[in-house]
Structure 1
Amino acid sequence: MELIADILLAAGALGAGFYCLVLSRRLKRFHDLEKGVGGAVAVLSSQVDDLNKSLVSARQMSDGSSKALEQLTGRAETVAQRLELMMASMHDIPEAAERTPEPVAESAPEAASEESDALAAAYEADAAASQQEEIAEEAAPEAEESKPTGLMFMRHNRSQNRVA
């Protein structure tokens, strides 16, 4: 009986030794820097570094783009204000139909004289309005000095703004 117990004990010890050998080889492969988990960790850390660099460059580009967009929006608002003022001043100008006299009928000399009086009054009102505008322009030279000079619109080359 003792002999059988010794044989079983030796077989168990050999089986445990073989199992330990297999486990040690697996652990070596697991910790290998090129093929195992160590390699995967190294690859992932390099990818994280690359993503951080691309995130920083994207953030810088978006900041630059937002600043340029704010400047362009400001310029567009200024131009819109100018256009609104121009449109408002266009309402003061009489229409072309009011300025051109219609053909006078020979049978109605009274209507022709009334139309000529109305046209004369319109021309006088127009002249008075232009004189008031000239007076307002002379009174406000500071407003004209604040107007920016130079190009109002500038074409941008889109290929220069992109970074490869």
Structure 2
Amino acid sequence: MEMIADVLLVAGALGAGVYCYVLAKRLSRFNDLETGVGGAVAVLSAQVDDLTRTLQAAQTAANGSSKSLEELTGRAENVSRKLELLVASMHDISDQEAAPPDLSEEEPPTPVFARHPRDNGRAQ
């Protein structure tokens, strides 16, 4: 009976060894950096780095655009205040147009005559 137990024990050890060898080969193919999951992880890691850089650049551009938009909004508010004041001042002007001055009461302008010196035949 001991002999059968020893044979079974050796057979179990050999089976476990073969099983470990097969698992080691599968694990090495699984972690291969070119074709396995290791390669996929490496590619995804590179893509995450690229996306991180792109996101930082986009955030910088958005911050610059936000500041520019705030400045333009401030300028637009100032201009709108000025326009409101101008419109309010236009309400103070009467709706009637100013009548042209009555020229019949004034004296007509007198013509002015001026003499120019003669050039005495000399060309200038």
Match for residue 15 of structure 1? 15
Q: Which has the higher helix share?
A: 1
**CA displacement 1:60-83 (0-9 Å, x = unmatched):** 211221122122112211210111
Deviations 1:20-67 (A, max 9, x none): 111111221232112333223212211221111111111121122112
Please give the per-residue CA displacement for 1:66-119, whole angstroms capped at 9, x wherever unaligned: 1221221122112101111111111111113xx589xxxxxxxxxxxxxxxxxx
In structure 2, the residue matched to 1:51 is 51
In the alignment, the residues of structure 2 paired with residue 68 and residue 6 of structure 1 have an alpha-carbon distance, to the nearest angstrom, of 84
Deviation at 1:2, TM superposition (A): 4.2
C-alpha RMSD of the superposition:
2.2
2:27 is matched with 27
- Report the Cα distance in structure 2 between the residues aligned to 1:71 and 1:85, rounded to whole angstroms: 22
User: Normalized against structure 2, the TM-score is what?
Assistant: 0.67
1:42 paired residue number: 42
- 1:1-164 equivalence runs, <5 A: 1-96=1-96, 99=97
**Pairs aligned (count):** 99
Match of residue 111 from structure 2: none
Residue 91 of structure 1 aligns to a residue in which SS?
helix
State, as a whole percentage, how many aligned pairs show the same letter. Answer: 65
Which blocks of at least 5 consecutive residues in structure 1 are unaligned?
Answer: 102-164
Compare relative contact order (CA 8 Å, sep 6+) and give the higher one, 1 or 2. Answer: 1
- Name stretches of at least 5 consecutive residues in structure 2 with no aligned partner: 100-124
Give the TM-score normalised by structure 1. 0.53
In structure 1, the residue matched to 2:113 is none
Q: Aligned partner of 2:48: which letter? A: V
